[in-house]
Amino acid sequence: MIAYADFKIESLAYFSKKMPNHVRWVLQQIKSRIERLNALFRPVMHYNCSAHHEGTNMTEEASNISSDTAAYPWSKNEMFLFRAALAFAMRDYTNGEEFGVSDIHPCDETKRVSFWFVVTRPNTTDLVDKGTVEMAIKKSRNRINGAFLLTDQTLEFDGIYPTLAAPVSPDTPPWLIVFGVVMGAVSVGIIALLAYPLVQRKLKKNKDADDEDSDEETGVKTAEIGANDGIYNSTFSDDERFTQM
Amino acid sequence: MGKDAGPEERPKWDNKAQYLLTCIGFAVGIGNVWRFPYLCQIYGGGAFLIPYLIALVFEGLPLLFLELAVGQRLRKGSVGVWKTINPVIGGVGIGCLIVSFLVGVFYNTILAWVLWYFFHSFQEPLPWSTCPLNESRTDYNLECKKSTPVNYFWYRETLNITPDIEISGSVEWGMVICLASAWCIVYICFIKGIDSMGKAVYVTSTFPYLVLTIFLIRALTLPGATDGLLYLFTPDWQTLKNPRVWLDAATQIFFSLSVAFGGLISFSSYNEEKNNCERDAVLVGVINSATSLYASIPVFSILGFKATTALNACKDENILALTNHFEFSDQNITLQNYDYWYEYLNTTYPGKFQSLSLRECDLQKLLKQVLTPSYSTGLAFIVFTEAVISMPGSQVWAVLFFVMLFSLGLSSMFGNIEGVLSPLNELKLLPRWIPKELTSAIICLISFLVALLFTLSSGNYWVEVFNGYVGSVPLLIIALFEIIGVIYFRGMKTFSDDIYIMTGKRPNIFWKACWMVISPLLLLVVFVAYVIVQAQTRPTYQAWNPDYEKFPETEQKLYPDWVFAIIILLCVVPVISIPLVALYQLLRACRTLASLRSPRRRSRLRFPVKR
């Protein structure tokens, strides 16, 4: 077993020098408790991941910090879920190659809940190249997010940018509808205000034509017409203006 | 108003409230809501109130009282009034006409922009809250990403602005239909002259106060509101030593009260003769300033809220960067212990810390940044719309805000239109059989066609040109001549008698001192200082250029020569009528005098008809 483990580590190191083919996965805004990676299906799980990425590990200092608010509870079960989701993504992308949970190998887990992982082909130890893994993740990103009830903003794959949702564009822009309503009301108002005095005048004329036979004092009539067609100016409200009949 | 065979009867207000509301609506405009708070903030908060109130008392109120008194006594529009006082200064009225027309044209364009935003506020989510995607759908639109979605919506989707005033671009049809709606709404309110307008002001003058109160209550409950208010009202007494502050206070009062447009003269001429115009003037002036103050409270609360939101976003960004880089577990660095962690990490790991190049998150800086120094008409659209996104129920607030802006602007437009129509009627340029509905329609149509210039892609730059030069220097000159005309041509004695007839008491020593000495002096000083300040530097404008290396900052460009010539024209054309008419009248008087003295004509003495 040990020999097998040594071989795995070596081969990993060899591949990493040739082409970086692992993806770093960073979980944002998720609180973690440090869980040691327990023995998984293959005892070779304890990769020496520090060979593939630069930067020192800060977990030692950070381990003293206490956390106060509730956050995403990370555990090995969650890790299992992640591996299962990723296995599903690989299967989906490669159309049925039987990836299993054992083919996803996370390592270098930090308290941040960030870790690296590599994917191997089923039943072999060949590593899948980064491009394929990225495409698979991109395709099933929604499902992976959904498995953890997270979003693109809270679950980040370093280097894989989320494809943006297409904006909803309705057939008629809504602003034209509002414009139509407002302009319709205004036009109706204008026509009404312009037509109202004309209509009134016509009605008046008909009424006057009917009343022509009845005798009325012309003086009063003139006053009536004068009062209706203009602003009544009280300065001239002198009744003696008209000759008394 | 009927077209009888007898003399045309002057329209009348239905009641005093209509008159007051119209005057207040004319004075209170969009500038009260954004220009005053902006000035208040850059000139040291509470300390700015001192020069502002001094300018109001010594410059604003006397001018207001003068215009209202003159209009009410002589019962004519702006042209008739000056002709009556003395034909030599009849040109002042024509100047008012031209200024009102030009200001009305660009002011309604601003209302068209408000309408555009109003129409777009009925969407969920608000269109200025997110960036659109680029063509390949892989990322957000580049221009939008570099600046903000709000800026993008304003500059690109609303204006579709060109990088230079010389590049005219094409007509934006969306803006054209908004402009048409704005002019139609103005027309429908003005269709029957002051009969219809008087009814409209019941709504347009009172509604903004209602909305301001609602905003006040809402804004005061937002987080960060107190920061904004403290920033506004903390007086910085040092700024009083800067003469620029006094100049800006005087100009602000002057332009805010909408004197020298001719509209106020027309409005007061529809009053009955025995009306206490002194009280009206003081009332209108005080309400105008009080509104500015009242509006600045919600404005600054909202800006404080905006700065706080920006601060939290900045801190969140930094927290994320720190947590990721130093591999802390999540929620260890929070907004509360941010400062502690910042200091600790900076001192313990300076190298790593510097490599992150974190943004500086300072509230005072953000508050300053929120009100950018380069003031432009778009400030209301950018600053407010951004604040509205972060408020829950954004559609409601956006709709309320834009309806308020529209009402404020509409009631000011009434004054502008009145300042155009009433002199036109008096100049008898149009035949009498044309009904007033048609006259209003023609004016609205002509203004709309001229305003199509502002719907070009470079339209915003032209609005800035008009705003900066038509609405400033000519008004000062006209106001100066108004005071000179009333006090020296009509005479202080006659004017005092006028006021005695109208109000029942003569103007006291304060008014007399202001009219004869203080206000003309103040106006002259303001005018000269203004011209000097403008003439010191070649005028520049801020251009939105996506190819600028410091984008999203606006690029400062010089106006090209032909635009500069247009600016000069805009300043000169309104006031050229004053000397021209004076010259014409003098020549005429000389000719009449000469004809009287000529020996050949002695047999046919022809007395000049007294005007």
Predicted confidence (pLDDT) per residue in A110-129, tens digit? 777 777 888 888 888 788 88
Q: Does the pLDDT at position B197 exceed 70?
A: yes
Q: Does the pLDDT at position A17 exceed 80?
A: no
Nearest CA in chain A to B12: A231
Q: Which residues have a Cβ under 8 Å from the Cβ of B104 and sit 6 or more positions away?
A: B413, B416, B417, B419, B420, B447
- The residue among B35, B401, B40, B48 whose CA lies nearest residue B228 is B40
A194:B191 CB<8 A: yes
What CA–CA distances, in Å, run from A128 to A106, A135, A155, B227, B409? Answer: 14, 12, 22, 55, 66
Cβ B260 vs Cβ B477: under 8 Å = no
In our burial notation (b when 16+ CB lie closer than 10 A, e otherwise), range A106-124 reads bbbbbbbbbbbbbbbebee
Q: Is B408 annotated to bind ligand?
A: yes
Half-sphere exposure of B514 (CA within 13 A, CB side): 18
A106 — pLDDT class (breaks 50, 70, 90)? confident
What CA–CA distances, in Å, run from A211 to A205, B67, B229, B570? Answer: 10, 49, 71, 59
B331:A31 CB<8 A: yes
Residue ranges per structural domain of chain A: 6-41, 76-148
Give the per-residue pLDDT at B599.
64
Q: How many CB atoms lie within 10 A of CB A203?
A: 10
Query: What mean pLDDT is predicted for residues B346-350?
Result: 82
Greater confidence (B190 vs A34) lies with B190
User: What is the percentage of chain B residues whose pLDDT exceeds 70?
Assistant: 95
**B569 and chain A in contact, CB less than 8 A:** no
Cβ B307 vs Cβ B224: under 8 Å = yes
Give the per-residue pLDDT at A228.
54
Give the per-residue pLDDT at B607.
61
A214 — pLDDT class (breaks 50, 70, 90)? low
Given B12, B327, B330, which is nearest A29 (Cβ)? B330
Give the per-residue pLDDT at B509.
92
Greater confidence (A145 vs A212) lies with A145
Which residues does residue B543 pair with via DSSP β-bridges, in sequence order? B555
Structure tokens given for B38: 């902006």
B140:A233 CB<8 A: no
Span of B235-239, B303-307, B568-572, B576-580 with lowest mean pLDDT: B235-239
Q: Is B288 annotated to bind ligand?
A: yes
Q: Does the pLDDT at position B481 exceed 70?
A: yes
Dist CA A85 CA B560 (whole Å): 63
Q: DSSP for B185-211, please give it.
A: HHHHHHTTTHHHHHHHHHHHTTHHHHH
Q: Which residue has the tokens 């996803």?
A: A104
Cβ B330 vs Cβ A71: under 8 Å = yes
Query: What mean pLDDT is predicted for residues B387-397?
Result: 88
Query: What mean pLDDT is predicted for residues B38-60?
Result: 86
Mutation for A interface: B327, B340, B341, B355, most A CBs within 10 A: B327
Give the per-residue pLDDT at A27.
41
Q: Does the pLDDT at position B234 exceed 90?
A: no
Query: What mean pLDDT is predicted for residues A187-213?
Result: 85
To the nearest whole Å, the CA of B594 is away from the closest chain A CA by 42
Cβ B32 vs Cβ B292: under 8 Å = yes
Q: Which residues from chain A sit within 8 angstroms of residue B133, using beta carbons?
A: 164, 166-167
Greater confidence (B552 vs B263) lies with B263
Structure tokens given for B267: 């409005």
Given A58, A163, A177, which is nearest B327 (Cβ)? A58
Query: What mean pLDDT is predicted for residues A212-226?
Result: 51
Q: Tell me the average pLDDT of chain A.
A: 65
- Three-state SS sequence of B266-303: HHHHCCCCCCCHHHHHHHHHHHHHHHHHHHHHHHHHHH
Q: Does the pLDDT at position B205 exceed 70?
A: yes
**CATH fold of B14-592, please?**
Hydantoin permease (1.10.4160)
Q: Which residues have a Cβ under 8 Å from the Cβ of B289 and sit 6 or more positions away?
A: B52, B53, B56, B60, B253, B256
B405 — pLDDT class (breaks 50, 70, 90)? very high
To the nearest whole Å, the CA of B484 is away from the closest chain A CA by 33
Q: Which residues from chain B sit within 8 angstroms of residue A58, using beta carbons?
A: 326-328
Greater confidence (A62 vs B499) lies with B499
Nearest CA in chain A to B196: A193
Q: Does the pLDDT at position A51 exceed 70?
A: no
Give the per-residue pLDDT at B372.
57
Q: Which residues of chain A from 113 to 132 reach within 8 Å of chain B, CB to CB?
A: 113-114
Q: Is B447 annotated to bind ligand?
A: no
Cβ B541 vs Cβ B165: under 8 Å = yes
Q: Does the pLDDT at position B538 exceed 50?
A: yes
Q: Does the pLDDT at position B325 exceed 50?
A: yes
A229:B2 CB<8 A: yes
**B210 and chain A in contact, CB less than 8 A:** no
pTM of the entire predicted model: 0.79
B2:A230 CB<8 A: yes
User: What is the percentage of chain B residues whose pLDDT exceeds 90?
Assistant: 40
Query: What mean pLDDT is predicted for residues B432-437?
Result: 85
Q: How many interchain CB pairs under 8 A, A with B?
A: 120
Give the per-residue pLDDT at A40.
29
A69:B334 CB<8 A: yes
Q: Does the pLDDT at position A1 exceed 70?
A: no
B139:A29 CB<8 A: no
